[in-house]
Structure 1
């Protein structure tokens, strides 16, 4: 799909983005370049679980998920956050359609290898690319919540948003993904001054984490971006969504953010 790109964004990040970001989305759509948005929503899920008194824990960065937790995951992701994003896009004058991976078997999943430890968390086995292509052909921006469905249609799965975004991009045949965050890219101190690295390989990221050059809250952001590099996806661009015309500039190699490449 040469007229598409996949964009991954956390739910809290997207909710905080300025109107200019959504104006940029509208401009791209008017030019025939359609983003396919895959969003997360971890903090909002944790907040709702807390309000409902449902205990939740993480195992190696993934939320341990039983049926009670999954009900909340689906309610928050496919309901609250998904529709908030759709409303913001439509307020800009663009057209959006929100759905989850359950709808139309959009994202089929199977239990992760360590399901005995973390429960109903899924790995993506198939993406209904034709459904996404149909939505795009009608002129709508697909906004996808990462809840998956088993091949038999009976079991739902909680899917990590970065894993889901990478799988959607790969099945659509997209080579580049944009990860929208609240940081300008991967920073490195050069001559006592912090600068954004324009490009970095996956191996260099591992080395920078080991050496402590990438630290703290940046580690999960970078690792999440690396997770998106799978299948046909060869490049992920980390950008700050608050930058003017950020998506247009990232797509046109406008010297913004950090490009993470496989090799």
Structure 2
């Protein structure tokens, strides 16, 4: 049995087709793969903050988080979004359990090095993987919201991509980012072309020339960090593509595979 951590971004969650959740359930019912979902919820957080007239800003794709913003982030992620994902899995015959990174200190966190700018944005220092393993032993799909906590009880807003990479590292799992695009796209002869494979050096170049920008930056940096620390493989795939997740898991040329330089042939 092998784990695959599936990260669903908030920008795609609301529109993911029923077929995506059916694919997750098929993986769960197989004897080979065990899916673990980590989700975001950025657009819904932004929408609620706007409704509440709370200002929100971003630095390098990460949301600046004060106490007021943090309350809204936790409400959206651990409340409405987490349970929405669980419901969607149940609707297609799956069995799932939603938990927050706060529960059982599943995601132990500390402030980032840019805490003076970002506020209560954290990075994961430890994952209590026994909680995930216990959920799996009960025959359930774990669905994790990326709120972290430290030993003093302080909560932190964890970028979903960074949280997913931390969970994948703890489980030595493959990591799959679900997107609404087929992978990392580059301009070639006036047209957008998908990269089948890209290295760490290639990613750094694309960040520098702004081919990769905004919310994609923490995603690819989390991928590279994870590859150097236990994660066997990282991919970015289109969650709207029929059977895309199953095809990727089965080794078909779907999405963009992210690798370290020494793996490039």
Q: 1 CA distance for matches of 2:243 and 2:78? A: 27
Q: 1 CA distance for matches of 2:191 and 2:50? A: 41
Structure 1 residues 162-177: aligned runs within 5 Å: 162-174=161-173, 176-177=174-175
**Cα deviation digits, residues 20-61 of structure 1 (max 9, x gap):** 111111111111322111111111111101111122222332
Partner of 2:234, secondary structure, is strand
Do the aligned residues in 2 keep the contact of 1:64 with 1:119 (CA within 8 Å)?
A: yes
**Cα deviation digits, residues 89-141 of structure 1 (max 9, x gap):** 11000111111100111001011122122211111111001110111111111
Q: 2 CA distance for matches of 1:26 and 1:113? A: 38
Residue 46 (structure 1) aligns with? 46
Residue 72 (structure 1) aligns with? 72
Residue 207 (structure 1) aligns with? 205
Q: 2 CA distance for matches of 1:258 and 1:222? A: 15
Superposed displacement of residue 188, structure 1: 3.5
Do the aligned residues in 2 keep the contact of 1:26 with 1:94 (CA within 8 Å)?
A: yes
User: With structure 1 as the length reference, what TM-score do the two structures score?
Assistant: 0.91
Residue 259 (structure 1) aligns with? 257
Q: 2 CA distance for matches of 1:199 and 1:180? A: 16
Partner of 2:240, secondary structure, is coil
Inter-CA distance 188–126: structure 2 relative to 1 (3 Å threshold): same
Q: 2 CA distance for matches of 1:191 and 1:54? A: 43
Unmatched segments (≥5 aa) in structure 2: none
Partner of 2:215, secondary structure, is helix
Please say which of residues 87-96 and 115-124 is displaced more in the overlay. Answer: 115-124
Do the aligned residues in 2 keep the contact of 1:124 with 1:164 (CA within 8 Å)?
A: yes
**Cα deviation digits, residues 186-205 of structure 1 (max 9, x gap):** 22345555432211102112
Inter-CA distance 102–210: structure 2 relative to 1 (3 Å threshold): closer
How many residues are aligned here? 257
Do the aligned residues in 1 keep the contact of 2:135 with 2:141 (CA within 8 Å)?
A: yes
**Cα deviation digits, residues 149-198 of structure 1 (max 9, x gap):** 1123x111111111111111101122x21000000112234555543221
Residue 122 (structure 2) aligns with? 122
What is the root-mean-square deviation in Å for CA atoms of aligned residues? 1.8
Unmatched segments (≥5 aa) in structure 1: none
Do the aligned residues in 1 keep the contact of 2:61 with 2:217 (CA within 8 Å)?
A: no
Superposed displacement of residue 223, structure 1: 4.7
Do the aligned residues in 1 keep the contact of 2:109 with 2:149 (CA within 8 Å)?
A: yes
Structure 1 residues 178-189: aligned runs within 5 Å: 178-189=176-187
